Structure 1
């Protein structure tokens, strides 16, 4: 995407230590829906759950026709993620929480660190740093992930092998390693969005 300005965002999965995070450069002028797609690619999520961006008194999401506006977010003003650009709210407020999968409740703290000029000839979005592999989809939230890590770290546990095999759906067949982070793989996924 062609843009003169970039937003440097640090996105950190909450409640997990050591932290799982990504630093990404995203072009100005994109919608929150596009930012959702960027976060999915940067973390390797599989994008089959609902999401929202929470600014406290404003929520940005895909509207659900089964609910009245504001009903899902305690009366907060709701904006359509496919129509709302990040330039207003995110630049003005500097941070928000992106939640993916309301069952597992993966909360990602997003902080706008810098506004930068785009470099001529570079493609964006772009990941510039990060750490650790995200939890497997549908693992059961933070507590389920902690139990999963306990089981895969104990080769004598009766479910050790089954859990590792189950997690391969999230690693393209590679053995799950919570410390794994490959910036080139992340940027290949992001390049498909450019």
Structure 2
């Protein structure tokens, strides 16, 4: 079946309606739409637009079909708009009935070529098979792999290998498809903060070799057992029976990592010693700012905690349950609760500054500045001032409330100003708005008496683990 017959046969009235809703121009007949679709697959501008909109799942589909020969030039695929949205919206996958879709081979070839020219798909295979002739003098061929699209390098790993890799990294992704794992992992291995953590878990000799190779812009590693841990942590990927490579984006990200600082963190602490000086914890005063009466909590937190853990402590002791984002600010620093929030702001502002809470220890900033604030970016916009009142020793390295003052800063009441009004109503059972306000406050976890014991129990349950808590394993 040629391309004209394909469109003539599978385009129906419902596709004409779809085209007129989704395109700027109007088509008065199926024939006119078919002619437009015919021209589109040889139009560079349209193909570039399609390339920018297809998902990686759709790109993978096209890559798998391009070398597949069929007697009628038709490829039968599931008609699944959620899975193949762009190809369906552009009317390249058409409905064939009974949940089946169909796409013509000419369309597959045209979009596949466009995806390769735009760098979405690799121009060459990202793996050299064992039965393919390859010897050391051919090593230059690996360059097209480690400088190709990073998504397709990590696509060499199976779904199970990707899942195991994320588990080793202590990270989780929301989706459960291979595409979800690939997007998540490639984001992690191009994050300087995450790479710093990965470098803590490889051997000393491997650490120094990687450091030297990054300086030399060298991406190729022999497939020896010493590199098993680096491979399992996603630093390098096996692309041949005898070789592994580090993707260029990973190498460039490692150039921004302070290897000297990582080397210091790699040095083991002497058994039985405190992290700094003769104390192993901080006593902190957490004050909600701009409230009509003082609202404060004094807590103990172990030294060596990261700011994501401190974020969890603050939310717990204020009894806040919202999932609204938050950040810390401290003397010119911004420390983001999540990698997603940090990337969104960097893309919006073009500012590469900022630290990630999961990979920033509180000790580093507590030693530099006394002016630290936590911004809870809910509709209330509460800000918490963090002050060190003492450096102490504790027997049980678990955060806990030591003392407190003031009411619970209720959520969803309009911040400090709204809190004053809400509490005035809650303290007057005869107020006409009492019942409505009380019901709303209770849905936001309001308690008339501060539940210190219950919160401390929750803190012990959350932090009674043998590993740090981060946004990736919470």
Which residue in 2 is equivalent to 1:140?
414
Aligned counterpart in structure 1 of residue 349 of structure 2, from 53, 59, 71: 71
Q: What RMSD, in angstroms, separates the aligned Cα atoms of the two structures?
A: 2.5
Given the alignment of the two structures, is residue 104 of structure 1 paired with residue 365 of structure 2, yes or no?
no
- Residue 367 of structure 2 aligns to a residue whose secondary structure is helix
Relative contact order (C-alpha < 8 Å, sep 6+): which is higher?
1
1:44 CA displacement: 1.0
Which residue in 2 is equivalent to 1:30?
305
Q: Is the 8 A contact 2:299 2:401 kept in 1?
A: yes
Q: Is the 8 A contact 1:3 1:27 kept in 2?
A: no
Given the alignment of the two structures, is residue 187 of structure 1 paired with residue 426 of structure 2, yes or no?
no
TM-score of the aligned structures, taking structure 1 as reference length: 0.83
Which residue in 2 is equivalent to 1:6?
281
- Residue 345 of structure 2 aligns to a residue whose secondary structure is coil
Give 5+ residue unaligned stretches, structure 1: none
The superposition leaves residues 3-45 of structure 1 with CA deviations (integer Å, 9 ceiling, x where unpaired) of 9410111101111132111111111111100100011111211
Larger radius of gyration between Structure 1 and Structure 2: 2
How is 1:52-131 mapped onto 2 (pairs within 5 angstroms)? 52-61=327-336, 62-63=338-339, 64=341, 65-68=343-346, 71=349, 77-119=353-395, 122-131=396-405
Which residue in 2 is equivalent to 1:158?
432
Q: Is the 8 A contact 2:331 2:371 kept in 1?
A: no
Q: What is the CA–CA distance in structure 1 between the aligned matches of 2:324 and 2:435, rounded to whole Å?
A: 27
The superposition leaves residues 143-194 of structure 1 with CA deviations (integer Å, 9 ceiling, x where unpaired) of 211221232233343321011011112337xxx43xx224312311211222
- Farther-moved stretch of structure 1 (180-189 vs 108-117): 180-189
Which residue in 2 is equivalent to 1:20?
295
Distance 1:3 1:83, change over 3 A: farther
Q: What is the CA–CA distance in structure 1 between the aligned matches of 2:307 and 2:386, rounded to whole Å?
A: 12
Q: What is the CA–CA distance in structure 2 between the aligned matches of 1:131 and 1:70, rounded to whole Å?
A: 39
Q: Is the 8 A contact 2:412 2:444 kept in 1?
A: no
- The structure where helix makes up a greater share of residues is 2
1:81 CA displacement: 0.8
Given the alignment of the two structures, is residue 48 of structure 1 paired with residue 323 of structure 2, yes or no?
yes
Which residue in 2 is equivalent to 1:149?
423
- Residue 54 of structure 1 aligns to a residue whose secondary structure is strand
Distance 1:155 1:118, change over 3 A: closer
Runs of 4 or more consecutive aligned structure 1 residues displaced over 6 Å after TM superposition: none
Give 5+ residue unaligned stretches, structure 2: 1-271, 275-279, 464-474
Distance 1:193 1:135, change over 3 A: same
Aligned residues: 184
- Residue 429 of structure 2 aligns to a residue whose secondary structure is coil
Q: What is the CA–CA distance in structure 2 between the aligned matches of 1:24 and 1:124, rounded to whole Å?
A: 10
- The structure where strand makes up a greater share of residues is 1
